[in-house]
Structure 1
Amino acid sequence: MNSSNEYRKEQDSLGEIAVPKHAYYGAQTQRAVNNYQISGLRLPRSIIKAQGVIKASAAKTNMELGLLPKSTGEAIIQAAEEVIQGNWDDQFVVDVYQAGAGTSQNMNINEVIAHRASELLDGTLESHRVHPNDHVNMMQSTNDTFHAAIHLAAAEMLHERLLPSLLQLQKELERKSIELMPIMKSGRTHLHDAVPMRLGQEFAGYSETIKSTYKQIEDTTDALYEIGLGGKAIGTRMNLPPDYIPKIIKEVCNRTNLPFREPANMFQFMQNTNAPIRTMLALKELSIHLIKITSDLRLLASGPRTGLAEISLPSVQPGSTIMPGKVNPAILEMTHMVCCQVIGYETTVATAGIAGQLEINVMMPVIAHTLMESLELLSNALPTLVTKCINGIEGNEEICNHFMQESLALVTALSPIMGYDRAAQIGKEADEKNVKIKEILQEKDLLTPEIVKALNPKGMV
């Protein structure tokens, strides 16, 4: 039996329900808590912050249009701004896996803001002077506001964290490519000897890969700037004053300093989750490239005595509980794991995107969670990769030169002089005798000045 000292009664369209006495949420949130004990996961504060921005912007717009009393509107704005600042994060208690479209999450924030605004006006959160639906949710629906909140949160995370972190990685790889450019080494294809190259050229390839991926992610961000506030339930803008949409979007832009705009077609926005799908595809591609780069670096640093050891990585922690002194490529391994998770998350968002039906996609809560978790993981992993690994990479010139001189692919330089077949025979003989190409040429009295010049690795790059 619930103690009356610990709970209060709240009411919604289904009747009364007991809510913790000091909770700022209300009946509909409590029903969601009771219904969805699923994962223990909550939507991230980036989504809650975005919802707060929307609620404050709506309240200001409704005040300007004469729809909301000034005192009520100002209290809602103050409460929403407290939510934006994170003052009430512990009051957002609905599981990620909840009722479709984010209705429970929308009511969670409506109820928290309504109770806090009532408290600001009357000194008690139980006065109910501010109503979660009539006042806080005025001129809104879950369907337009929660969808828009995903766009706000993702755009802000990309703008403030992921893109700057990605640019930092690209610049550091570019700097490292210049630093390592003097070191000659053997290239490899199919993990076998290939023609010579510069170690810096390898890193220049990594840098350009990240640069092009940065541009792609930056381009996808533009789709996130479309927000369908005012679309209401299905895009018809029912009961909406004509000036509502431009005013609320202007206020959102003022609060975020980002260029949000009305969708070209409101019904298309309501029906689909295009921008999150495209963003996740770009994050998946970034993850694929990061796995390639980090796998390369692990291979190039393998050893230190029994691997390639062409580069050295900074030591960040002991690598074994049984082998003393062992140091592993831990930061690269961490990055690889993050990317594996993001690639899996992309499948979740794609599958959720398929679930759109008629005028809405009800899978938005899992899309919100998965997209923001992906952005958070990558935004945290990239600076760690730069500062604890890429910054400290050093090239091992002696080992690189040794492998290059031993490479059988040096015979490639002989093809224009003596033909492919004869050059291949010399390479095969060098391999069988386990000697260098030059030794076979010298043995056959073929080491002419022209061939000596051709075999100079610097001339091959």
Structure 2
Amino acid sequence: MTLSDNFRIEKDTLGTIKVPKNAYYGAQTQRAIENFQISGKRMPRSIIRAQGIVKAAAATTNMDLELLPHSIGDAIIQASKEVINGKWDDQFVVDIYQAGAGTSQNMNTNEVVANRATELLDPSLDLGRIHPNDHVNMNQSTNDTFHASMQIAAMENLVHKLLPALRILYKELDKKATEFMPIVKAGRTHLHDAVPMRLGQEFAGYAETIQSLIQQLEHSSDKLYEIGLGGTAIGTKANTHPDYPLKVITEVCNQTSLPFRQPNNIFEFMQNTGAPIRVMTTLKELSVHLIKITSDLRLLASGPRTGLAEITLPSVQPGSTIMPGKVNPAILEMTHMVCCQVIGFEAAVSTAGTASQLEINVMMPMIAYTLIESIDIMYNAVSTLTTKCIIGIQGNEKICKQRMESSLALVTALSPIMGYDRASQIGKEADDKDITIKEVLKQKNLLTPEIEKAMEPKGLI
């Protein structure tokens, strides 16, 4: 290796290449930089962290198996921990749209860890003394390590971020359900009048929907715990110590405090990206239901003078550059946008899943980025929705009562007493005259105590 101005010259199997003098990455990363100037986006922090976890676990295992000298192994572990903690994030420079399977991303990690470990071992040594392939990548292939890193990152983000955020959202919706249970209002189907209900019942439906999706996400994400470290290139465990797979996964468990395990079938793991696809399918369903809930809340809060106005949302920012004092449901709109994006991301991951051929799916870099991005933006959206909107919602009991008393659907109570056809005529007359059902009954001298009792809204709930 020689130095030239602001660059150093490095050599790989394709020849020599200039690398920035102070970069910790090396020749293969530099080639990826030059080859893949596509989006300007890099792998998420959580993927880089997971790659650091894999490299530290591998070094620990290789030392335990007496395959790696402790001096080199300890330096690799220290360098990997720095990667885990984000110290060298600026050295991870490969575009997310890169060579298939994540080879460039894995080599970016191998080179950064190798050169930093060399520096830690002895600052006077030339970079490269600790080899990115022979030492840092020992007992590994991109095909098992990047795949595993994707699933480690996803599980950490689900367990520590999205699932707790969803549980808090459920809790706050459930609180609102209890708070709003005394408020009786008109139900609606097809956006038209329906029989009375409680505002709390509406919110209880929202809460249970989120609870159901939490359970579904817990179930669908369980397969992410299966990581095929030690499978190397295609699952045959070529060039791997027989004790390595179980030991390295145990070490990953120690570092993450999560119950990762060996796959039931290593070849199934190597061939497919089924676990991310399942999670993305659940995130898509979550998005669909969140769109329903946030759309409902926008309708219920519409107005405040010309809409339903049955609930009031907390004001978070001015809503118009031309209409003074206007306040829009900004948090609900943001959540809807995020959900639309996640639905699109699910389509991308499912489509990429069709690229699995023979022993590998080469679309893993895009799948990894999209999966983590989906979890991250959904976590941020759900947290913001809860704290800046749901907690501050208030029920408007007065307006709910007015809407309910004027609802044409109260005629439903008359059907068992006077029959469907006659009740329908009364409802139509009320609509034509723009008066209430009770007023029509009074005009016809039909408002008996029995009918008045039957039309009590609480009796219809």
TM-score (norm 1): 0.99
Aligned partner of 1:68 in structure 2 is 68
Which residue does the alignment assign to 1:123?
123
Note the 1:59-138 alignment, pairs <5 A.
Answer: 59-124=59-124, 126-138=126-138
- How many residue pairs match? The answer is 460
Aligned residue for 1:453? 453
Q: Which residue of 1 aligns with 2:282?
A: 282
The amino acid across from 2:78 in the alignment is Q
What is aligned with 1:215? 215
Q: Specify the alignment match of 1:422 in structure 2.
A: 422
Partner of 2:369: 369
Contact 1:116 1:125 (C-alpha < 8 Å) held by counterparts: no
1:181-220 matches, cutoff 5 A: 181-220=181-220
What is the rounded CA distance, in whole Å, between the counterparts of 2:120 and 2:247 in structure 1? 26
Aligned to 1:43: 43
Alignment of 1:305-324 (within 5 A): 305-324=305-324
> 1:383 is paired with a residue of what secondary structure?
helix
Q: Deviations over 1:248-293 (max 9, x none)?
A: 0110000000000000000000000010000000000000000000
CA RMSD for the aligned pairs? 1.0
| Cα displacement string for residues 271-319 of structure 1 (whole angstroms, at most 9, x for unaligned residues) | 0001000000000000000000000000000001111101000000000
Q: What is the Cα deviation at residue 34 of structure 1?
A: 0.3
Encode CA deviations 1:88-132: one digit per residue, 9 max, x unaligned: 000000000000000000000000000001101120573421000
Name the SS of the counterpart of 2:326 in structure 1: coil
Q: Is the 8 A contact 1:8 1:20 kept in 2?
A: yes
- The residue number in structure 2 matching 1:10 is 10
Deviation at 1:444, TM superposition (A): 1.2
Contact 1:273 1:353 survives alignment (8 Å):
yes
Deviation by residue 1:344-388 (Cα, 9 ceiling, x = unmatched): 000000000011111000000000000000011011111111111
CA distance in 1 between partners of 2:44 and 2:344 (Å)? 19
Structure-2 separation of matches of 1:125 and 1:364: 36
Of residues 287-296 and 4-13 in structure 1, the stretch that sits farther from structure 2 once superposed is 4-13
- The residue number in structure 2 matching 1:334 is 334
Structure 1 match to 2:388 = 388
CA displacement at 1:239 relative to structure 2? 2.5
Deviation at 1:442, TM superposition (A): 1.1
Structure 2 match to 1:258: 258
* Aligned residue identity for 1:123: P
Give aligned-pair identity as a percent: 71
Q: Closer, same or farther in 2 for the Cα pair 1:34/1:168, shift >3 Å?
A: same
Give, in angstroms, the shift of residue 5 of structure 1.
2.1
Cα deviation digits, residues 16-39 of structure 1 (max 9, x gap): 100000000000000000000000
- Structure 2 gaps of 5+ residues are none
Partner of 1:28: 28
Measure, in 1, the Cα distance between the counterparts of 2:124 and 2:220. Answer: 45
TM-score normalised by structure 2 residue count: 0.99
Residues 199-257 of structure 1, C-alpha deviations (whole Å, 9 max, x = no match): 01000000000000000001112110000001110000112222111110110000000
Q: What is the correspondence of 1:172-183 to structure 2 with a 5 Å cutoff?
A: 172-183=172-183
What is the distance in 1 between the residues matched to 2:38 and 2:460?
Answer: 61
Match of 2:268 in 1: 268
Residue type of the alignment partner of 2:128: H
Letter in 1 for 2:130: V
Runs of 4+ in 1 over 2 A off after TM superposition: 124-127
Letter in 1 for 2:431: D
Q: Secondary structure of the residue that 1:8 maps to in structure 2?
A: strand
Shift of 1:3: 9.0
Gaps of 5+ in 1: none
- Structure 2 SS opposite 1:320: coil
Q: Which amino acid aligns with 2:191?
A: L
